[in-house]
């Protein structure tokens, strides 16, 4: 990073910037202004997406905060001091909400064996893996499910009924937790937007047109197909059960529900996850969430992302800013960004 630079006054004036993961985490922490572990976890999650090249799930998620459409406030709970808690996340930055809820549910599971949080009106969240992975590093089992507006046709159907409905879960294991983060649709909304921006056709079998027929034309696509056929539909129904089934709210454009389950193992001594990892390795396989860590020691941010950070944290590119933020002691022990790819191919 160079010395002081003048921040652009519009996104069109912004240019790409190359920085380090550590410096970017400092900038994101300053942008969200959330203290403690929730701030650390949020920043690590966004930077990890950048490291993995999943930019739509990275720092660009802060665009709503930059436009004053979302706030990085901690959520309030409607029924505090209970195992199952309800939280309204309307107008709040999704990653901060889930990070703070994860910390709260871990404490609940340690004391009572289980922590359940239902998050109504949850905003864009990006990757789910970082939150359940942190839960697993605490020796607990984590499950995070998020519903979405109808865009996916059920198996055998011709029109959208279900959402893309991602789900993630993590199991404690050594050397790192087993983590799965997967969409229940054959293509995500981010994947569709990427294809549209690039002007390329879709893979056959992932989208349907208005007649319910398979299409590769991005302009004709009106719904997606379920991932893995019937299995994708069944998994999407599980997500609906955990989200809308518990919140009592059907998903819509502004009515997404997320549910986080944190469970304490009955017997903490035997690490079943570690045994599974070893069993996978014996037959030449690799457990999800264990491989490969990105080599990128430098991250190149797109101009629009640079503009977002310039608006939220003027001067974040200055060497003095990075040095001052890095010198501040942290009271939390938080695992470094592993960058492990948690999604099945």
Q: What topology does CATH give the domain 1-72+298-336?
A: Hypothetical Oxidoreductase Yiak; Chain: A, domain 1 (1.10.1530)
Q: 5: alpha, beta or left, given left = phi > 0 and alpha = psi -120 to 50?
A: beta
User: In the chain, what are the domain boundaries?
Assistant: 1-72+298-336, 78-186+225-295
Q: Which residue has the tokens 């981010």?
A: 190
Q: Which residues have a Cβ under 8 Å from the Cβ of 147 and sit 6 or more positions away? A: 163, 165, 239, 240, 243, 244, 251, 256, 257, 258
Mean predicted lDDT score pLDDT of the chain = 86
Q: Which residues have a Cβ under 8 Å from the Cβ of 222 and sit 6 or more positions away? A: 159, 160, 207, 208, 209, 210
In a 10 Å sphere around its CB, with 0-12 CB exposed, 13-18 middle and 19+ buried, how is residue 211 labelled? exposed
Q: What is the mean pLDDT of the segment spanning 321-325?
A: 63
Q: Which of 124-133, 226-235, 282-291 has the lowest mean pLDDT?
A: 282-291
Per-residue pLDDT at 4 exceeds 50: no
- 297: tokens are 């020691």
Separation in Å, CA 158 to CA 43, 140, 209, 322: 40, 40, 9, 53
- Looking at per-residue pLDDT, the higher value among 10 and 26 belongs to 26
Q: What is the mean pLDDT of the segment spanning 246-259?
A: 79
Q: What share of the chain is helix, strand, coil (3-state, %, to 5)?
A: 35, 15, 50
What is the rounded CA–CA span in Å between residue 130 and residue 58? 12
Peptide bond between residue 139 and the one before it cis (omega within 30 degrees of 0): no
Per-residue pLDDT at 345 exceeds 80: no
- The predicted pLDDT at position 274 comes to 93
Fold match between domain 1-72+298-336 and domain 78-186+225-295: no
R_g of the chain computed on alpha carbons:
20
Q: Which of 10-14, 110-114, 237-241 has the lowest mean pLDDT?
A: 10-14
Q: List, for residues 24-61, the tens digit of each pLDDT value.
A: 999 999 999 999 999 999 999 999 999 998 889 999 99
In a 10 Å sphere around its CB, with 0-12 CB exposed, 13-18 middle and 19+ buried, how is residue 200 labelled? exposed
Per-residue pLDDT at 314 exceeds 70: yes
- The predicted pLDDT at position 77 comes to 80
Q: Which residue has the tokens 């660009």?
A: 60
Select 78-186+225-295's CATH number: 3.90.400.10, 3.10.20.740, 3.30.1370.60, 3.40.50.300.
3.30.1370.60
Relative orientation angle of helices 303-312 and 21-32, to the nearest 10 degrees: 50
Concatenated DSSP letters for 179-209? EEEE-SBSS-HHHHHHHHHHT-PPPTTSEE-
What is the rounded CA–CA span in Å between residue 115 and residue 82? 9
Q: List, for residues 203-220, the tens digit of each pLDDT value.
A: 989 999 999 999 999 999
The predicted model scores a pTM of: 0.88
């Amino acid at each position: 990073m160079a010395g002081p630079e003048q921040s652009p006054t519009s996104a069109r004036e912004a240019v790409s910037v190359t920085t380090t993961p550590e410096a970017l985490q400092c900038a994101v922490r300053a942008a969200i202004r959330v203290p403690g572990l929730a701030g650390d976890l949020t920043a690590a999650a966004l930077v990890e997406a950048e490291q993995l090249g999943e930019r739509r799930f990275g720092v660009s998620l802060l665009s709503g905060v930059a436009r004053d459409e979302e706030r990085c406030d901690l959520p309030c709970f409607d029924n505090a001091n209970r195992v199952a808690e309800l939280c309204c996340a309307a107008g709040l930055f999704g990653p901060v909400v889930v990070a703070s809820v994860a910390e709260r549910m871990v404490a609940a599971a340690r004391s009572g064996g289980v922590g359940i949080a239902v998050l109504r009106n949850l905003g864009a969240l990006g990757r789910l893996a970082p939150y359940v992975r942190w839960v697993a590093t605490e020796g607990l089992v984590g499950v995070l499910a998020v519903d979405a507006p109808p865009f996916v046709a059920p198996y055998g159907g011709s029109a959208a009924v279900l959402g893309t409905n991602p789900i993630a879960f993590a199991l404690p294991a050594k050397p790192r937790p087993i983590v799965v983060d997967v969409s229940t649709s054959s293509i995500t909304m981010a994947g569709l937007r990427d294809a549209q921006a690039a002007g390329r056709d879709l893979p056959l079998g992932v989208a349907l047109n208005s007649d319910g027929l398979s299409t590769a034309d991005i302009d004709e696509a009106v719904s997606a197909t379920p991932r893995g056929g019937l299995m994708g539909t069944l998994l999407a129904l599980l997500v609906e059960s955990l989200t809308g089934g518990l919140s009592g709210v059907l998903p819509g454009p502004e009515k997404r529900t997320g549910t986080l389950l944190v469970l304490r193992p009955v017997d903490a001594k035997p690490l079943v996850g570690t045994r599974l990892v070893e069993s996978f390795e014996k037959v030449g396989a690799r457990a999800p969430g264990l491989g490969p860590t990105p080599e990128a020691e430098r991250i190149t941010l797109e101009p629009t992302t640079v503009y977002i950070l310039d608006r939220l944290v003027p001067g974040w590119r200055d060497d003095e800013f990075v040095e001052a933020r890095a010198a501040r002691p942290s009271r939390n022990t938080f695992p470094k960004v592993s960058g492990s790819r948690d999604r099945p191919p």
